[in-house]
Structures are given as structure tokens and as C-alpha cells.
Amino acid sequence: EFSRRKISEKHDKVFVTGCLQPDTTQPRANAAFVVLARNKELDGVIQSMKSIERHFNRWYNYPYVFLNDGDFNETFKETVKNYTSASVEFGKVGPDMWGYPDWIDPKVAKEGINKQGDNAIMYGGMESYHFMCRFYSGFFYKHELLAKYEWYWRLEPEISYFCDITYDPFLKMIEHNKTYGFTIAVKELRETVPNIFRYASAYMRLKGLKSKGLWEMFVEPQPEKDTSKPKDLPEEVFRSEPARLPDIDPEAMEGEKYNMCHFWSNFEIARLDFFRSQEYEDFFQMMDRSGGFWMERWGDAPIHSLAAGALLSPKDIHYFRDFGYRHTTIQHCPANAPARQLPREPWLEKTTLDERKRIDEDKYWEEIDEPKENGVGCRCR
Ligand code: GDP
Ligand code: MN
């Protein structure tokens, strides 16, 4: 709530209200969809591609970059190419970007991961999930297939878009001088990131950074002001090779607490040079060297979000409130989407989410009529 109000009202407005006739003649931005996936996720990948193609890319034809820590098989590659007329590239993520770095003892990391599994921390016991989170936190933008691009739009298997996007969000972000775009902000599971904020906060102090107005989005409002003198952080925070998180005196956080808010990074449209900056690299290095990707289960979502909080200002952020977007159980529904309108269509009441998705697909994909809805989003269905 705070985030939406904070970002939307003063510093950021919807780029386009309602529908446009998509302009397919203007030059594209230097951008691509980025999809990290495994061969076994082919069906989910197709679902996502059908959705983004139908609602956006059939007009705009942005290329896709598929990445995988393993090798994509021929079935995956051939099938995926059938679902878009845009160009598609497939890349491998090497051990320099995936798995354990050489400065950590894999046995210690593995123990940490197993312990999280025992404690039933969501995905905490899954080694590959930790690899994925670290890859998306500190490496994807360095992949050679992304080197030629300035912008990316992250896509995941099994997501769906349900409003037409009849303008080019990359060009709009360029025009409005935006760096990072999101459509959902939610609260993180506290137990996955117990120490993340201490390190992010320590990064701010260490670099002498002052909030540009976005940091507050991630800070729990304090009932009373803590006037005690801040203590210096212990040395261990900055040492180069810890295998586990040092105990930082809570006072070192100057009374600030993480409110668990983060941009949900399975959707992201952003400038790659934000991640490629020295400031982001320093941030990632410090977070990484704490061991938090192993001893805790830090997600790339809170990492990207806290980096944005430390380095960007509200005007650099765009809230895509007009994008109807769903990933598993969480969705963002623009004000004029059918699900938000009363009375609801009877079939929406009766059907389950899965059935609804299927009905959506069957009912509308072949329908190529002109966009004609008014409201925040365009023709949401
Ligand atoms: P969730 O959205 O947090 O439930 O996590 P997902 O399982 O959807 O993973 C996030 C993204 O990383 C998706 O695009 C997955 O396809 C991808 N991903 C997760 N783990 C792996 C992995 O081990 N290898 C590869 N190649 N991709 C992965
Ligand atoms: Mn997912």
C-alpha cells in the first residue's frame, strides 16, 4: 500500500490510459525478453509465450533470450521458436555464474541449505533455487547474450498477462527517464531473509549513501525515534571471506527495520546498466560475501529491491499499474479488468483459477479485433 501510494502519486503516472492502435512502424528499443528455464518447464514457457505474444509481442516483435544452466534440448528449442516470429537465442549459464563461488566451502554452504530445508523454509533446502537466486541477483546482466542489449523484460514459465499492452513500455521508460519497472510489490517471507536488511543498511552506511526517497519504501515505520548513538559495525561485516553471516549488533541498523516489501521480480522491465553499474556491483559483492545466498535464502527480488532503494529515487521507478499480470497465486488486476467489475460474469464466479486460464486461452487467442476498452489497462480479459 505504502509503496504504491509513495511511487504512484507524486513521482510516476500511468504511461498510457486505455488502448492505442499499436504502432508497429516505430523502431524498437534495444531490448529483449529474458527467460531462465529448464527443459522440463517447456509447457509453462509456452503458456507464458502465448500470453505475452497475444497481448503484446505480436505487434512489437521483441527478441527472446533463453538461458539455462544445462543445455536446452532440440525439442525445447524447436517448440519455443514456433510460438513467436521474433528472433530467439539460447544460451548456457556457465559455472562462473551458477553454483558455488570458489570463496565458499561448498560443504558449509550445503549444511546451511540443509538446515533451511529442515526448518521448512520455502525453497530453503533446494540448492538449485539458491543458485537461481544468486544468478538473478548478480549475474544475468553479465551474460554474453545480453551484452548487446540495454533493456530487458523478465519472463517466467507459467505466468499470464491478461490486458493488451498497446504501447512499447521500453520506449515509454526511455521517454520518461525510468530505470526500473514493476507491477506487483509484496511482502517477503521473513524467515528467508532474516539478515538481508542489516547488510543492505550496512552498505548504505559504508558508502555514505543517503536515501533519495525510495529507501523508506522498505523501512518499517518506527513507533518512536531511536536517539541512541549508532554503534560501528563489527569488522566481520566487511571481511572478504565469511562462510556464514556474522552477528551484527541490531543497534548497528540505527533502529531501521525491514518491512519485507519488495518488487516481485518475476516481472521486471529495467535498464541493464543499473545492474552493470559499479554501485550495484559493490552492493552485490557485499551482499554476496556475507554468505546470505547460502546461509539464508535471499531472493533476487529483495536484492534488486533493496539495491533500488539504496541507489534510485522514486521518480526512477515505474509502476505498471495497467498491466494485468498473474504468477501462481498472486496477480495484479488493473482497475478496469473484468474481475474487478460488478456484476461479474457468472463463469468467472464458478470456475477455478486454472479453468479460467484455460478458458481465456481457448476463447480469445484467435480473436484479433481492435483494442477498444477505456480505463487504466487496455482490453483486460
Ligand atoms: P518461483 O517463481 O519463486 O516459484 O521460482 P521458479 O521455480 O519459477 O524459478 C524462477 C525462475 O528461475 C523460473 O524462470 C525458472 O524457470 C528458473 N529456474 C529455477 N531454478 C532453475 C534451475 O535450476 N535451472 C534453470 N535453468 N532455471 C531455473
Ligand atoms: Mn516462478
Q: Which of 266, 60, 59, 76 is nearest to 155 (CA)?
A: 266
In this model, does residue 343 exceed pLDDT 50? no
| Residue carrying the nine cell digits 522514486 | 314
Residue 34: strand pairing partners: 65, 154
Structural domain boundaries enclosing 219: 2-380
**97-131 pLDDT tens trace:** 999 999 999 999 999 999 999 999 999 999 999 99
Mutation probe of ligand 1 site: the residue of 33, 36, 47 with most atoms within 8 A of C-beta: 36
**76-93 pLDDT tens trace:** 999 999 999 999 999 999
Question: Band of the pLDDT at 239, cuts 50, 70, 90?
Answer: very low
Distance CA 259, CA 187 (A): 8
CB 272 within 8 A of CB 149: yes
Q: Which residues contact 246 (CB under 8 A, 6 or more apart)?
A: 234, 236, 237, 239, 290
The whole-number pLDDT of residue 362 equals: 42
The whole-number pLDDT of residue 126 equals: 98
CB 192 within 8 A of CB 294: no
Of the CA atoms within 13 Å of residue 313, those in its CB half-sphere come to 8
Ligand closest to Cα of 301 equals 1
Q: Which residue is catalytic, options 53, 268, 296, 373?
A: 268
CATH of the domain at 324: 3.90.550.10
Angle 160-166-170 (CA atoms, 0-180°, nearest 5)? Answer: 85
Of the CA atoms within 13 Å of residue 252, those in its CB half-sphere come to 21
Least confident range from 249-258, 314-323, 358-367: namely: 358-367
Ligand 1 atom with minimal separation from the 70 CA = 26
Which regions of the chain does DSSP assign to beta strands (E)? Answer: 31-36, 64-68, 88-92, 151-155, 159-161, 163-164, 180-182, 185-187, 261-263, 268-271, 317-319, 325-327, 330-332, 378-380
Question: Band of the pLDDT at 234, cuts 50, 70, 90?
Answer: low
Active-site residue, 9 included: no
Q: Which of 70, 178, 193, 216 is nearest to 137 (CA)?
A: 193
Name the burial class of residue 238, with classes exposed (0-12), middle (13-18) and buried (19+) by CB atoms within 10 angstroms of its CB: middle
Task: Using the mean position of ligand 2's atoms as its centre, give its distance from the Cα of residue 157 in Å.
Answer: 6
**264-286 pLDDT tens trace:** 999 999 999 999 999 999 999 99
Task: Please count the structural domains in the chain.
Answer: 1
The CB of 68 under 6 Å from ligand 1? The reply is: yes
Residue 258: strand pairing partners: 219
**147-195 pLDDT tens trace:** 999 999 999 999 999 999 999 999 999 999 999 999 999 999 999 999 9
The CB of 48 under 6 Å from ligand 1? The reply is: no
